[in-house]
Structure 1
């Protein structure tokens, strides 16, 4: 094994979620028909690495159930400003002994921790 390649993010509406993640700074990698009315929508951050796919076909993955995934930031304050300017609500930055964190939730409530 080498790395985690794709993480499935459960969403209600794939297009609404895609627009949110694009505003968040993700880039669209692929969008193609997949399983009936669903699409395979895969996005990634500009520097590469692990990508996400917006899923609505796993019955045990409920929209809004994802929490604890961490996105590394070089400048948390600048990223918070950019996200806020893009209309994305960001929770307050909390300082911990292991860094600063702020939470962002997608339209379904899936929570991401921004970390610097």
Structure 2
């Protein structure tokens, strides 16, 4: 399957998750600054809609001699499952829960239209 037109670029407001159907697949789409991300919308844990989840920047923590330091990476958006707060990278689909992920789809904008590639690769 090739690229599927999922709407006009202006239909995707910044830092807002939108639920779309493309090629029979439920997909969560989010514009984050100048990038648009798309992941399968069903959480692999218990099938909650990630498009109804919570967006935030990726957080990481590490122990230091003075305690715990938390870093926020504004360039790496994540979505948290609305049911159990499992976290998934919008860029890769990887979860912070080992062994779980959602499929991430390549997205590009052509002449003001958002296209998602549903094929392999």
TM-score range, shorter chain: under 0.3
Larger radius of gyration: 2
Q: Which has the higher strand share?
A: 2
Q: TM-score, normalised by structure 1?
A: 0.27
Q: TM-score, normalised by structure 2?
A: 0.26
Q: Which has the higher helix share?
A: 1
